Structures are given as C-alpha cells and as structure tokens.
C-alpha cells in the first residue's frame, strides 16, 4: 500500500506546482521505499548537497560507452581508441562548462577533495594561503603550516571583501593563494567570488574556487569571475561515477612533482643501476597516474552537456521556486531556527540547515526517513567549524543540525511532505520507538527488508 502524505498547511507561499519549470529527469525519481509502519511511499530525496542522483541522460551515456570501454591512451585496439577519444573530449566539455581560458588545463580527479589536495601539493614553496574558516573540510584542511591564514566568518558578503584584504596585507612577499567556496554546503549562501577575486588581484594572489556546491546550481565562469582554479565533483553534478576535476592555470601544476606516481604520469623511465631516472609527463597526464576513470569522466561530461543544453534559467527557476516554498514552510514550524552565515537574507542555492528547539537532529532525521520516506542529512556536514559556530548563534543545545537540500530530483510534493512531517513530529512526536546504535538513532525492531542486491 502507498500512503498519501498531506501537503504543508498554513503557508502563504504563492508558489504552486504549475510554477515549477521542468528539468532533466533523475534516476530513481519513482523509487518506492518501505516505511517502518509497513506502508510504502515514493522516496523524497532532500539530500542533494551530499550526493545528487544520477541524471537519466548520464546513465544512458554510460550505457552507450560500456561496450566500448577499454584502457585509454596508447592502446592500439579500436575500443581503446574510442575510449581515449571520449576521455579527451571530456576535457573540452569541462573547459566549456566552466568558461575556462584556452590555456587552462583540466586534470581529472576523484572529487573536489582530491582536486584541492592536488592543488595544495602543487603550490610553490612558501606560498601564503588565505581562506575563510567557514569552508568545507575539502577546502579547509589541505593547507597546513605557518603560511596559512584563516579569516573569521564575515557578517555579510560585502564584509568579506575588507576582511580578505586585511589578511592579504599581512602576507609576506611571495606566491599567494586565496581559497573560497562558491556556495556554502551548510546554508547554501553564495559568496561574492568576483569581488574577492578582484581583491586577490590587487595583492598579487591567485584564487581557487571550491565549486562543489555552486556548479550543480549556478553557472560557473572562470573568466567572468577571474579565478585561477575551479574544483568540482561529479557526484554533486548528477554524475555519481567517481570523477571530479581541477581546472585552471597550468604552470604551478606543471612545475610540481606528480600527485601520484605510476603509469601514465611518466614519459620515460631509465634504469641507472643504483636508481631510476624518470622523466615525468606534462600536465594534465602528469597528475593522472594509473588507469583513468574513463566511465566516470564520460559521465561527468554528459552531465555538464545535459545541464548546458537544458539551460540554466530553467534550472535556477526550478530550484529557487522550491527553495522559496521550503523556507516559507519551515517558518511555520514551532521552534525551528534556520542557520545563516551572513546577517540578513542573501542569495543562496537550494540548501537549508536548521535546528528545532528541544528536538535532537539525529532523531528527527531518523523519523523522517523511517516514518515518512524522506531523506535529509543531520550532523555538521563536513564543515564542523562553520556549523558549530552557527549553532552557537541560535543557542543550540547540541552540535548537530538538520539539512534539507534541493536539486533536479526535488518536487513540490517532497517539500510539502517534509514541512508536514516536521510539523507532526514537533507537535505530536514520532509514532515509532527509536534507539541509539553506534551513536545514531535508528528505529527499534526494524524489519524492513533491504533490496535483494544488498547482503543482509
């Protein structure tokens, strides 16, 4: 039996289902999941910020490639030549997707974390690094040592500009790099990237953009933003096949030792008896040792192509309409506090984090899943410094928050179901019994079977 979830009540949103533009379809849009009550419901995936579902066009592109799959580069077989062509074409697709300069290189990685660690390993000696302490761990942790300056959270996007300038003034002479996120994975708020890049230029600094959360929701243009590097992840961009990219200026990457050593990164290896002489490949191959993930790269390129063809105007309109409906609905929940980095309301992508006074985030998340078929995230979202600071602002009693994140797989029904479920949980409490297991809340006596392909 499939249960009917009532729409949210008592909201004054003017957004109706007919106002939501159509967008590319995702795999699993009609996924039916079991509830602890014995019923079934269509899954409401409101966790796009963690990993976005696969686009149908991406799945089809991968299926089309798989019969031709072979190892890329230097293969004489026809399938290898096809795979190589697909792999190298993807660089051009990524370059167009982010508006890269003709001289920029595209290095394929596993994800944004991998990309920023690669860049960190490639910095010239004594490079000063400046970043805000609100960054995701992927952008916060790779930079270590005395030359790293963390700037405290600014009160507004405008205040971020003089804060960065003050930090850059304190940097010693030498190479400088500013690291900034495009959109917060905690609050969805957009950062003034172009304004920060202008400040970086005045002080001779380069700027690296963490676009993991920005690229799936808004267009990224390296030239327009005047940034030097962009890092992004396929699994955030509706291509969950294990590929990401670092796109940007080639000189630091070319001068650095390979990120990994092995086949593909080498142009020539000579046995000198007591040691091996190695001539490394030029970028991008220099940092792509091992057999490349041609399937993941092709999937990433297919996602970028699909989004570009569909048009950003419709994608942004879809998400903003849902975001407006969600935020208006959440304001009707007693005791709910939305987290924000900046004071005031600023432009943001479809990410909302919040606490509910007197209710544990983990328990609410577990009940939303088990009783309503809704997937959200709870915790500190791999941005512990930022999230805990924001929780302190709202006097939260615990160091965890709830996050609902929207994307191409989100619908009006998902949003309304979440708001209605939260209202019921806050006013009436969970209908099921929950217990702590390995530090997380889980439904007690949960007899729901896993899918057949999952080992029990």
pLDDT tens track of the chain, all 456 residues? 333 433 444 444 555 666 677 899 999 999 999 999 999 999 999 999 999 999 999 999 999 999 999 999 988 999 999 999 999 999 999 999 999 999 999 999 999 999 999 999 999 999 999 999 999 999 999 998 899 999 998 999 999 999 999 999 999 999 999 999 999 999 999 999 999 999 999 999 999 999 999 999 999 999 999 999 999 999 999 999 999 999 999 999 999 999 999 999 999 999 898 899 999 999 999 999 999 999 999 999 999 999 999 999 999 999 999 999 999 999 999 999 999 999 989 999 999 999 999 999 999 999 999 999 999 999 999 999 999 989 988 766 778 999 999 999 999 999 999 999 999 999 999 999 999 999 999 999 999 999 999 986
Q: Are residues 324 and 304 in the same domain?
A: no
Same domain, 176 and 268: yes
Paired with 230 in beta bridges are 209, 247
Q: Which helix (H) or strand (E) holds 180?
A: strand 176-181
Residues 223 and 95 in one domain: yes
Q: Answer whether residue 11 is part of any domain.
A: no
Q: In this structure, are 416 and 370 located in the same domain?
A: yes
- Domain-located, residue 315: yes
Sign of CA dihedral 250, 254, 256, 257: positive
Q: Are 341 and 353 in contact (CB under 8 A)?
A: no
Domain that holds residue 344: 17-53+311-443
- Are 45 and 63 part of one and the same domain? no
Q: Can you give the CATH number for the domain in which 423 is found? A: 3.90.1150.10
The reply to whether 5 falls in a domain is no
Q: Which of 54, 171, 304, 382 is catalytic?
A: 382
The rounded distance, in Å, linking the Cα atoms of 73 and 309 is 29
Per-residue pLDDT at 6: 38
Number of structural domains the chain divides into: 2
Q: Which of 216, 241, 255, 214 is nearest to 105 (CA)?
A: 255
pTM metric for this prediction: 0.94
From residue 253, give the alpha-carbon distance in Å to each of 145, 165, 279, 283: 20, 26, 15, 7
Please classify residue 266 by burial: count the beta carbons closer than 10 Å to its beta carbon, then call 0-12 exposed, 13-18 middle and 19+ buried.
middle
C-alpha 27 chain-centroid distance? 18
284-295 b/e (C-beta count within 10 Å ≥ 16 → b): bbbbbbeebbbb
Q: Is 382 a catalytic residue?
A: yes
Alpha helix (H) residue ranges in 214-276: 222-225, 251-255
What integer pLDDT is reported at residue 18 of this predicted model?
61
Q: Are residues 78 and 218 in the same domain?
A: yes
What contacts 76, CB < 8 A, 6 or more positions away? none
Report the CATH number that the domain containing residue 215 is assigned in CATH. Answer: 3.40.640.10
């Amino acid at each position: 039996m499939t249960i009917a979830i009532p729409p949210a009540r008592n909201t004054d949103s003017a957004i109706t289902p007919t106002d939501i533009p159509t967008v590319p379809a995702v795999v699993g849009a009609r996924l039916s999941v079991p509830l602890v009550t014995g019923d079934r419901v269509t899954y409401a995936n409101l966790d796009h910020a963690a990993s976005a579902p696969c686009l149908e066009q991406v799945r089809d592109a991968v299926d089309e490639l798989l019969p031709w799959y072979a190892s890329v580069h230097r293969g004489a077989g026809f399938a290898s030549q096809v795979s190589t062509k697909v792999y190298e074409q993807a660089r051009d697709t990524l370059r167009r997707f982010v508006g890269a300069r003709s001289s920029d290189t595209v290095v394929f990685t596993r994800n944004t974390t991998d990309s920023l660690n690669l860049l960190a390993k490639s910095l010239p000696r004594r490079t000063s690094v400046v970043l805000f302490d609100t960054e995701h761990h992927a952008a916060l942790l790779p930079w270590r040592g005395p030359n790293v300056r963390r700037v405290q959270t600014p009160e507004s996007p405008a205040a971020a500009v003089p804060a960065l300038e003050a930090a850059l003034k304190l940097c010693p002479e030498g190479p400088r790099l500013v690291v900034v996120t495009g959109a917060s994975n905690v609050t969805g708020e957009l950062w003034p990237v172009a304004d920060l890049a202008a400040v970086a230029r005045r002080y001779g600094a380069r700027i690296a953009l963490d676009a993991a959360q920005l690229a799936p929701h808004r267009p990224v243009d390296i030239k327009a933003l005047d940034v030097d590097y962009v890092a992004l992840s396929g699994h955030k961009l509706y291509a969950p096949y294990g590929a990401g990219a670092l796109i940007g200026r080639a000189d630091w990457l070319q001068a650095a030792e390979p990120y990994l050593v092995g086949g593909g990164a080498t142009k020539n290896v000579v046995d000198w008896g007591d040691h091996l002489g190695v001539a490394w490949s030029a970028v991008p191959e220099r940092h792509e040792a091992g057999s490349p993930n041609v399937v993941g790269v092709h999937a990433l390129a297919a996602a970028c192509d699909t989004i570009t063809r569909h048009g950003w105007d419709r994608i942004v309109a879809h998400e903003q309409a849902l975001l407006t409906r969600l935020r208006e609905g959440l304001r009707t929940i007693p005791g709910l506090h939305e987290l924000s980095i900046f004071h005031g309301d600023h432009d943001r992508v479809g990410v909302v984090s919040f606490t509910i006074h007197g209710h544990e985030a983990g328990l609410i998340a577990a009940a939303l899943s088990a009783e309503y078929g809704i997937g959200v995230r709870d915790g500190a979202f791999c941005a512990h410094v930022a999230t805990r600071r924001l929780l302190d602002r709202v006097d939260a009693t615990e160091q965890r928050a709830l996050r609902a994140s929207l994307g191409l797989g989100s619908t009006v029904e998902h949003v309304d179901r979440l708001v209605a479920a939260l209202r019921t949980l806050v006013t009436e409490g969970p209908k099921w019994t929950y217990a702590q297991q390995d530090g997380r809340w889980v439904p007690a006596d949960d007899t729901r079977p896993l899918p057949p392909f999952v080992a029990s």
